[in-house]
Structure 1
Amino acid sequence: MTALPAGSIFPKTDVAALGGGTLTLGAPRGDHDWQLVVVYRGLHCPICKTYLSRLQEFEATFGELGVDVVAISADPEEKAQAFADEKELTLAIGYGLSAAQMDTLGLYVSDPRSPQETDRPFAEPGLFVINAEGTIQILDVSNAPFARPDLQGIANGIKFVRANDYPIRGTHSG
């Protein structure tokens, strides 16, 4: 795993989208000029279900800020669809994130604890806010399901950054 540094260009990544077609992570859709990419663990994760339900509640807020919202996991299509159906999600959801793509995005990867959990390695949570220049403005990558950024805080932060031309922070090591 190679961590993506704040202020670096987000590597555009194509993934299959529920409902057909492709989502390009790092390329906002519609009239949005920023993108929020949320990586979730998969259907087996109850914390992910709560988090993505909350993300769904905030989708309009992010949209008002000019931010396109997408969620992605390594789940195959049938599990990603079951996840979306169970939580009644209308978010743009990508699936089938490969091991190579997880590595490119600097995500932590875990093996399933049992076949009942899932049947393949999966990415631990990640959140990337990509600005209009394709640069990583804000990021949070976790090695466990328990650490996730507060979505209200992320929305407030994006609003502040955009209103005040606030610079990207954490762009060099101490």
Structure 2
Amino acid sequence: MSTAHSPKLAAGQPFPELSVTTSDGQQVRLGQPRPETGANWQMVLVYRGRHCPLCTKYLNQLEGFREELKEVGVDILAVSADSEAQLREHRSRLNVEFPIAYGLTQAQMDQLGVYVSLPRSEQETDHNFAEPGLFVVNEEGNLHVVDISNNPFVRPELQALVNGLRWIRDPDNHYPIRGTRQGPESELIYR
């Protein structure tokens, strides 16, 4: 059995330049915080789509942390491979004020390195979809925090994530991007 391989984004590397359309029709670039938020980082949350009740629950829970994230300078944008019509229907079950985008393409999912699933039936959805991914992009446009999963049951616990971002954003902590050393040439360096 052959499996497709999509390379995963490396911590510290520039986040890819990908544009999507939000539910209000605006073209936005993933990883660029909205100027009106005053944030200089952006959390990009890739979710499976309207067919996933766990995604709906997670997005609604994330709304409860929107103000805390704003306080530490982190904007939020969620995106899926759903169509505009599917997102419009999904919005009726979402109670969020952060922007949600649609139309993530297969090529964009591959660039993000997220796992991609085929629908189990037409009742589930009518297109390939991304499994959960969370990317926090810093003010330099580099990937600072990344979490990807191959199923909807494994996602960062939101309070722990927000606490961690608060810690990382505190300049007194001098906390670097973690996980930047890869491959056999890596050495143990204690800091």
TM range (shorter): over 0.9
User: Which 4+ runs in 1 deviate beyond 4 A?
Assistant: none
What is residue 168 of structure 1 aligned with on the other side? 177
Aligned residues with identical type, % of pairs: 49
The one of 98, 101, 105 equivalent to 2:105 is 98
Hey, what does 2:162 align to over in structure 1? 155
Which residue in 2 is equivalent to 1:130? 137
Q: Unaligned 5+ residue runs, structure 1?
A: none
AA in 2 matched with 1:68: D
> Tell me, what secondary structure is at the counterpart of 1:9?
coil
* Matched position secondary structure for 2:93: helix
Helix, strand or coil: the match of 1:7?
Answer: coil
How far does residue 38 in structure 1 lie from its aligned partner after superposition? Answer: 0.4
How many residues end up aligned between the 2 structures? Answer: 174
Q: Does 1:15 align with 2:27?
A: no
Bigger radius of gyration among the two: 2
Please list every run of 5 or more consecutive structure 2 residues that lacks an aligned counterpart in the other structure: 1-5, 187-191
The TM-score, its normalising length taken from structure 1, stands at 0.97
For 2:97 and 2:168, the matched residues in 1 are separated by 27
AA matched with 1:162? R
| 1:71 counterpart residue number | 78
Shift of 1:90: 2.1
Whole-Å Cα distance in 1 between the matches of residues 33 and 98 of structure 2? 14
Write the letter of the residue equivalent to 1:132.
Answer: E
The CA distance in 2 between the partners of 1:91 and 1:161, in whole Å, is 22
Instruction: Kindly report the root-mean-square deviation, in angstroms, between the aligned alpha carbons of the 2 structures.
Output: 1.0
Cα offsets for 1:2-55 (capped at 9, x unmatched): 100111111121001111111210111122100000000000001001100011
Aligned to 2:45: 38
For the residue of structure 1 that corresponds to 2:65, the secondary structure is: helix
Structure 2 counterpart of 1:19, which letter? D
